[in-house]
Amino acid sequence: MIEISVLPLVANHATTGLCYYQNATSQVQLLRIRQTLEKVIFPGDRILFHAAPEDTLDIYSSTPTGFMQIDRIACSQLQVIES
């Protein structure tokens, strides 16, 4: 079963947008945005969250000894475009 999580709006940003990310890997991932978001997602999971365009999503992949950072994506690239 694929899970879609929707996380609450982060109150400390004046302007935030709805963002989308999918774990397309076969590894468990940890997502982190500064001190506002920290979420473990499993392979195939999708997540919707609110973030400011200037924020970055840090992505960590599970390893036998913990988590290792594998990517950093600007939240402006993850924003959902409403039509």
Q: For residue 35, give every residue at least 6 positions away whose Cβ sits within 8 Å of its Cβ, in sequence order, or none.
A: none
- Encode pLDDT of 30-81 as tens digits: 999 987 889 999 999 999 999 999 999 999 999 899 899 999 999 999 999 8
Residue 25, pLDDT > 50, answer yes
Ordered strands of the 37-41 beta sheet: 37-41, 29-33, 56-63, 66-74
Q: Quick one: average pLDDT of 3-26?
A: 72
Q: What is the pLDDT of residue 6?
A: 52
